[in-house]
Structure 1
């Protein structure tokens, strides 16, 4: 259980007494994480800062037998305590590293390689030591972020996101306050919205900064496995991701037919990279998937005399859909474009991309064609899927934000039960939630505010006709 000097015991006194009681079954194995701060007078005489108001930290470790006797809510509460303590320790570490930096800069204890000293003291890798130093430095630059982290209200990932946010400081303070009650993904989405509304840089300035921050690398781990990492600007990243996702989807189509021994998503992504970088396929099914992908690319090139397909490329260029307002495309506003992978692009970049035959602009604010295939076909056409992506933008399962490139078009009123294939009867669901919905008999229900909820379908009885969602603007 987590306790600190200012908040007191977060559990009941009875639970705390059980944890500290020598007769507790975990007594011989229990371990307490504590932080004994010097008194104010001692710290003042040593020239150190005043102790953090949160005071000492304490976490009582329960034995496996004790944990087995807890209910689900109690176990989740214990996890919450662990994470809160972890967050506070991250804030404490940032302050300790700051004190070391002061000694280094003052010349009292010069250190030519602080990251190596941290590596030796903490037992982490040199790479992780550099990352920890950078994160601590950024956190100390923003007092409100450091305070929230040291109080355990936010985690280290949230702290880094809030530090990187390019917004005025008053806006950052509000973001920090809001982050205390949400998860990391929600904080990142909130920061993204705030940057759009309060950004201190123009869209093209942001793009140029992102372009300058590109990088990649690879290394071998202790088992000889090759590890890759890469970071691209949104424009380049959109092309790379679209090409990789096109082959990944072909592999997924084949994998869905496999009952036992199906590869994991991570293994499938690794096989996609193996082909993209080295032209390697490990099964006949994967080789056939590659041939299908190249055949479609060749068919597109046959209809585009100004853009012939290059057969020497491992992966053919994939089509990218970009959602953008008509005024932005004309250069009248700075509204960002949105790719089908959920990536924002400045309108200047979208206008340049629109000259590429592989770029499909989906323009809002203009009259559009039909978005209704009725009962004539079960599968969703490419055109209808683009309209669906323009409307939903990500997986619509409550709380999920997987990008459209990893989503399926799901019939709300099942096609086999008479449901039509039109925009109002479709919703984007990621592969995981689409499978979960069908496996466990859930149903997607649209809400008036544009969100969706799920219900458990009854075992028998007719399926009700879904309520028609608000009609969206159509692309030309």
Structure 2
């Protein structure tokens, strides 16, 4: 590793990924070892309370870590009967992926936890859910897999566990003076909370940094602070105009003026105009291409002499019906592992509109601002497959092509071909 400074960026990233694969393989190698400890009953032989207590001493790890390793051995290792007959592991798909180093020990813990939450009357769904979670774990981090599993269980068992308090509760909001302000506390039923969150959504979007500004600090407000500001703004609008107003399909309207040779070469500068009477700003041509689908922008292509050759039409923008269809199909940002809701996303052209891409559902995908910028950098590639967006990672990220089903837990465990054939309602 002494020559690591000589590595290119891609080589360095590949090495980091390779080390993680080695760590996964080493973690998986513990499974048969711990299983053999249990089979031999060495914990009792050596005077320990249980196998987890033995591992704490032998490996010098926390008891919680030791218990996780024992649990992995119990469910991922085959059992051998007195007759010598082998019994398959409880979670064979997870066991195989872990042995190959395709998933981490954290993935194992998360998937075990999700499967343990399946109620008895839905136990027949366990194999399909295990296979689906393992498949997505190859491309999603453990936190995302946990969210996916929780949402999939909610779809399988929408009634959930029986509430402790069967008495119906009513919406309530308490405003109590506290210090130089007022403390608000409340409770809303699920339907009312959905209505409130929908109304607050356009007013609580994080404020992005201004491109080109010296101060590139992000919106430092917490979610609770943004919700508070949004609620106050909602009240101001209702008092002032009597209506809430609508959330625009696109946040801004701009014009991008770029010479034809610059547009073709994707190098050089373009002019970005901010609304009526706004001063134009000079930006890179590639940045202008990104803004064309990030905002309500109209591209204006100039000849070498300066006269306009082509003025783009607003028909390149996804209309309201298409936005609704995209929200139903993608559910939000389609980038793997992202849980940003659809109203905070833009409709990105898979084949850029300037390059001849059509404003059709088969050429549109919802992306949040962060992942939209990431796609434009070119490391990740998105394409449509069977009516759904599929993302291809750069070579230094293992796992191959992947989809984001965090927003569509109803598709988990189903045959992809069947899901792809379902019509998308407009």
Tell me the TM-score range normalised by the shorter chain. Answer: 0.3 to 0.5
TM-score (norm 2): 0.44
TM-score (norm 1): 0.40
Structure with the bigger RCO (C-alpha within 8 Å, sep 6+) is 2
